[in-house]
Amino acid sequence: VVLVLCCLGLLSADQSLKPQLGDPQLATNNPTLTTVSLEKPFCMFDSSLCPNRSYTIYLYVMKESASAMSSLVTDDSNKPLGSTFQQTSGGQLGPYNAAFFDVPDCAVPPRLADVGGMNKVPDVLKQYLFRVGDDGTCLYDPNFLGVCNPPLSPDTTYRFKYVLVDNSEGMVKDQTLWSDPIKTRRGK
């Protein structure tokens, strides 16, 4: 029964789940002037995953000042919006898709004890965290066609949302709430 409900999309993530700032012990100096490190959504969507299906997590970003009316991340047919940074004026007019990545493996989360040496720390942190605002080149490359994760604006408040997309259907299967407001630092 659970398998059938799961595949029909009737089970969903706990609706109180939302993106969180990375643990200060792992993401020091977070947020910065132009970036925010968020915890990846470990185990958030487990009840929505069906065996033998492929899923992707989309990350949406929106300035807090954007209208609540424009905070939807799906179209009328429940497909994820492909709004870009440029189309939404950097999140001012609504959410933009800043990134997508595989669903983190809840059964085998990365452990800091697995680091072993200092050269492995960045790889382990990338498994735990996602850094929003980490691509300074995509906005200025005229040949860039993918999802852009450009630097955030200093002294600006943002909200973030994770969305689970079924790759075979291209449909949104589940989503978190919008994060609490997170403000980038102000320059001195």
What pLDDT is recorded for position 2?
A: 37
- The whole-chain average pLDDT of the chain stands at 84
Q: What is the pTM of this model?
A: 0.85
- pLDDT tens for 49-80 read 888 899 999 999 999 987 666 789 999 999 99
pLDDT of residue 7: 41
Assess whether pLDDT exceeds 70 at residue 120: no
Pinpoint the alpha helices (H) of 49-132.
Answer: 121-128
Please say whether the beta carbons of 162 and 57 come within 8 A: yes
Identify the band that residue 5 occupies on the pLDDT scale cut at 50, 70 and 90. very low
* Strand 96-102 relative to strand 55-63, pairing: antiparallel
Question: Across-strand partners of 161?
Answer: 60
Give, for 177, the enclosing helix (H) or strand (E). Answer: none
159, 64 contact by CB (below 8 A): yes
